Amino acid sequence: MSNSQDALNLDRLRQQDHLAFEALVAAHHRQLVAVARAIIGDSLAEEVVQEAWVSVYKALPKFEGRSSVRTWLYTVVSNGAKTRLRREKRSVSLEDISDDGNIDYLGQDRFSPGGHWKNPAPGWHLDSPDQLLEEQHLQKCIEHTVSLLPDQQKAVFILRDLEQEALTEICNILDVSESYVRVLLHRARVKLMQVIDRYQETGEC
């Protein structure tokens, strides 16, 4: 999308254009619910996001654009979820961290300590991972796998690998440490790679 189109859409949003706002909701609602779930759990996530949309709509005329709309949305939802969490006196589950707080190095042969690929996954029969991901069946399989990830893993994966948010921004959004973000991201990636490998070997999800 061109910069002029981005500016036009932002102007429409600031004017609280109904169609522009509906498009914004359609584009981001699912990801925002995933973020809210990671903070407050499943039972209140949808309610938190709905309240956030109301706040966003009211605040749009005064949005100054110091950050992207997407980052602003994540911030509004995360702040709302944290406020609700304190009010409900709920605790965020840390089941994804081992007792000693260290990473379970499943798949460590594929990732460097910094979280980058060491080697591509073996046995991929298409010319590139991008072509592989274009297969409709595999794409549905990956989407299904992401939907089944633990809430915090899913939120971190969406924010980092799909939305390309910086690690520091993810830490602020979810109110967790960078080491914890790396744990969650590592485990989510390993799970998805297992699914891709299995698909290549068997043709099944």
Structure tokens at 52: 């956030």
Burial class (CB in 10 A: 0-12, 13-18, 19+), 12: middle
Is the Cβ–Cβ distance between 13 and 63 less than 8 Å? yes
Q: In whole angstroms, how far apart are CA 96 and each of 12, 90, 102, 150, 186?
A: 41, 17, 10, 8, 11
Query: How far is the C-alpha of 135 from the C-alpha of 192, rounded, in Å?
Result: 15
Q: Can you list the domains of the chain with their CATH numbers?
A: 3-88 (1.10.1740.10), 99-205 (1.10.10.10)
Instruction: Give residue 184's pLDDT.
Output: 94
Span 76-109, pLDDT tens digits: 999 999 888 888 764 444 444 444 444 444 455 5
Per-residue pLDDT reduced to its tens digit, 141-171: 888 888 888 888 988 998 898 888 899 989 9
Dihedral-angle region of residue 111 (phi above 0 means left; psi in -120 to 50 means alpha; beta otherwise)? beta
Residue type, 11: D
pLDDT at 116: 55
Report, as an integer, the average pLDDT of 4-14. Answer: 76
Average pLDDT, the chain: 79
What are the b/e assignments for 122-155, b being 16+ CB within 10 Å?
eeeeeeeeeebeeeeebeebbeebbeebbbbbbb
Under the banding of pLDDT at 50, 70 and 90, the label for residue 25 is very high
Rounded to two decimals, the pTM is 0.64
What residues contact residue 102 under an 8 Å CB cut-off, 6+ apart?
none
**Dist. CA 189–CA 107, nearest whole Å:** 9
3-class SS of residue 57: helix
Rounded to a whole number of angstroms, the CA Rg of the chain reads 19
Task: Say how far apart CA 101 and CA 204 lie, in whole Å.
Answer: 34
